[in-house]
Amino acid sequence: MQAPVIGNSPEKYSVLQLNYSATMDQISAITNSAEYCEQYISYSCKMSRLLNTPDGSPYTWWVGKANEKHYYWGGSGPGIQKCACGIERNCTDAKYYCNCDADSKQWRKDTGLLSYKEHLPVSQVVVGDIDRPGSEAKITVGPVRCQGDRNYWNAASFITPSSYLHFSTFQGETSADISFYFKTSAPYGVFLENLGNTDFIKLELKSTTEVSFSFDVGNGPVEIVVRSPNPLSDDQWHRVNAERNVKQASLQVDQLPQEIRKAPTEGHTRLELYSQLYVGAAGGQRGFLGCIRSLRMNGVTLDLEERAKVTPGVKPGCSGHCTSYGMYCENGGKCVEKYNGYSCDCSSTAYDGPFCIKDVGAFFEEGMWLRYSFPSPGTTAKDLASRTLLSSTDPEATVPDISLNAEELSFSFSTTKSPCVLLYISSYTLDYMAVLVKPSGNLQIRYNLGGTREPYNIDVDHRSMANGQPHSVNITRNERDIVLQLDHYPPASYNLPTASDVQFNSLKALFLGKVIVQKENQDLFPMEATLSSSLLDMNSVLYSNHQVFS
C-alpha cells in the first residue's frame, strides 16, 4: 500500500496503520516456518527527515511483530539506525545515512527490503518530521513475501542401529495422519513406534522393497504393506504417508498405488497409547539407519533436529541432499549441500533465483552500451578492492597482466535490429574479439589475436538472428580450437589460422552494445537489442574470474 503522510496530530506524529487479509497469528505461523521472508518499505520525502543519525533520536520508526519498535529501515538490519544507502555508502549527501536525512527541498527516497523475519510483518509506521512548512512524505509498504519451508528440511541422521529419538505420546485416538521422507542404504529398520497396553502403531522398512504400516486398536493387529518394484534402500529420498481413521487405513510410498484397508464394522475404534513415541529403534527391534526428515504427525512437524542435538547416536540434519535434488539446479547451477537442505549456486551461470532459472539481463536502446574495464597491469589489490568486492591477503600485491590461451563465452539475446554489436572485448594491444549481427541478420564471430593482417571471421548462416526471438550462443576456445553452438543446432568446430597467435594478450575492457573502436574513432555498429543470460567463463558475465554483468 502507498499513502501520503499528513501532519495533523497534536503529538506531531502521524501513524500509518496496516491491515492484512490474514490474522497476525496466521502470518506468524508462515514467517516462523519459512526459510526467508521479506517486506518492501519506502519513504519518499521532501524536507522530511527519516532516521536522523545513528546516535540521535529517529524521526520515524516502524512497529513489527509483538508491537516492538524498530529504528532501522529497508536494506539495513536490526541495531543499525541507517538506510540502505548508509550501508552501501552511496547516499546523496555523504554526511547522512539516509537520503531523506539531508532535508532536501527536492523529492528523495529511501527504500529497501526488511528481511529480518522475526520482526515481520510491519503493523505500523510512525512518521514524525512532517509538521514544518513544506514538509511532505509518502509511505509505501509492500506485502510480506516468504519462501522455503524450514520444516521441510527438519531432519535427523540415525548412525547406529540402537539410536532413536523420543517424543511425547502420539495423540491419535480416532485419527492418525503421519508423513515423512526417509533415505537409507540399509535393507530394513523401524521408522517409528508408539505402544499402549496392547494397542500400538508402527511404521517400518521391512525389506529393501517393502514399507509396512501396522497398528492395533484392540481388534487384533492390522498390517498394510506397500511393495516397490525398485529398491527403497538406494540412498535416495522416499516419501511415506500413512493415515488411519475409524473407517479405514491407508499407506502410500512415493507415487506408488495407495494401499487401503477398511476398518471392521464392529469392534474397537480408539487407539490408546501410553508410551513415548520412538523415532528409530525401539524395544530392541531392528533400528533404522539413515535419515528421516519432515516428520509430520496430525499436522504437527516434530523438531527432529533439536532433539538430535542432545541425543547420542543421532545427528541433526542430513547430508547428500544434492544426490536427490541436484537436478533442480538448472542452467549449470551447482548444488551446494547445506546443514538442513541444499541451495543452488548460480554464480557460475547467467541465471539467478533459487534454482538458477531467472534470466539476468538488460535492455539496450540504440546507442546505449555497457563497459566493464579489466584491472590494468600494475593495479594494486588494495585499489581494486576499493572499487569492487574483491579482497586480497596482500593489499600491496599488483594485478598481473590478463592474457588468455582459452576462454568460454555464452549468452542469449533477442533483437530486431541489424547490423549490431552484441559483445566486444578489447585489449591494450591490437587483439580483440567481437560477436556481431551482420546486415543480413546472420551471426558473425571475429577473432583478431595477432599474426594475421585481417581478423579471423566465423560466419553462421543458419538463419537471421534479428527476428526478435531469443537466441543462445556458446563459444569455447582452447588455443586454436574453437567450438560454437547456436541455439539447438549441433556444435560446430573451427580453427584459427596457423599464422594466428593463440594468446589473447592484455585484456582491457568488455563492451555490451554499442562499441567505440578508439583506433578508428568510429562505431562498429549501433545496437538496439535485449541482451540477457550473458556469461563469460564463470559468472553472470565473468571473464577470467572478473565479474562483468549481473
DSSP string, 190-219: EEEEEE-SS-EEEEEEEETTEEEEEEESSS
Cβ neighbours, 10 Å, residue 336: 14
pLDDT, average across residues 9-33? 82
| CA end-to-end span of the chain | 30
* Residue-range domain boundaries for the chain: 2-147, 152-316, 325-352, 362-536
Whether the link from the prior residue into 375 is cis, omega within 30° of 0, is: no
Q: For residues 275-314, b (16+ Cβ closer than 10 Å) or e, as one string?
A: bbbbbbbbeebebbbbbbbbbbbeeebbbbbebbeebebb
Q: Residue 366 phi/psi, 5° resolution?
A: -60, 130
pLDDT in tens, 195-241: 988 999 999 999 999 999 999 999 999 999 999 999 999 888 899 99
The percentage of the chain sitting over the pLDDT mark of 90, rounded to a whole number, equals 38
User: What is residue 374's three-state secondary structure?
Assistant: coil
Range in 432-446, 499-513, 518-532 with the lowest mean pLDDT: 518-532
Residue 11: left if φ>0, alpha if ψ -120 to 50, beta else—which one?
alpha
Distance CA 522, CA 486 (A): 29
How confident is residue 376, by pLDDT bands cut at 50, 70 and 90?
Answer: low
Residue 418 has what pLDDT? Answer: 82
323: its cell numbers: 544426490
Cell 513489527 found at = 64
Distance CA 275, CA 170 (A): 9
Residue 177 has what pLDDT? Answer: 95
Cβ neighbours, 10 Å, residue 414: 17
Distance CA 295, CA 307 (A): 13
* Mean pLDDT, the chain, whole residue set: 82
What pairs with residue 182 in β-bridges? 238, 292
pLDDT higher than threshold 70 for residue 105 = yes
Would you say 169 and 194 are in contact if contact means Cβ atoms under 8 Å apart? Answer: yes
Closest among 135, 143, 146, 142 to 60, alpha carbons compared: 135
Distance CA 80, CA 460 (A): 55
3-state helix, strand, coil in the chain (%, to 5): 10, 40, 50
Distance CA 124, CA 67 (A): 9
Looking at CATH, the fold of the domain delimited by 2-147 is given as Jelly Rolls (2.60.120)
Contacts of 79 (CB under 8 A, 6+ apart): 72
- 2-147 with 152-316: one CATH topology? yes
* CATH code, 362-536: 2.60.120.200
pLDDT higher than threshold 90 for residue 265 = no
Distance CA 414, CA 394 (A): 43
Sign of CA dihedral 303, 309, 313, 314: positive
Residue 119 has what pLDDT? Answer: 93
Q: Residue 385 phi/psi, 5° resolution?
A: -65, -30
Would you say 414 and 530 are in contact if contact means Cβ atoms under 8 Å apart? Answer: yes
How confident is residue 522, by pLDDT bands cut at 50, 70 and 90?
Answer: very low
pLDDT in tens, 150-199: 778 889 999 888 889 999 999 999 999 999 999 998 899 999 999 988 99
Distance CA 428, CA 489 (A): 35
pLDDT, average across residues 48-72? 85
In whole angstroms, how large is the CA radius of gyration of the chain?
31
The percentage of the chain sitting over the pLDDT mark of 70, rounded to a whole number, equals 82
Burial (CB < 10 A; 0-12, 13-18, 19+), residue 544, is middle
Distance CA 399, CA 545 (A): 13
Distance CA 534, CA 529 (A): 13
Whether the link from the prior residue into 419 is cis, omega within 30° of 0, is: yes
DSSP string, 59-118: SEEEE-GGG-EE---TTS-TT----HHHHHT--SSTTSSSSGGG--SS-EEEEEEE--GG
Q: What letter does residue 504 receive in the DSSP assignment? A: B
Helix (H) or strand (E) holding 29: helix 24-33
- 152-316 maps to CATH 2.60.120.200: yes
pLDDT in tens, 460-517: 887 788 887 778 888 999 999 999 988 878 899 999 999 899 999 888 888 887 644 4
Q: What letter does residue 340 receive in the DSSP assignment? A: T
How confident is residue 6, by pLDDT bands cut at 50, 70 and 90?
Answer: low
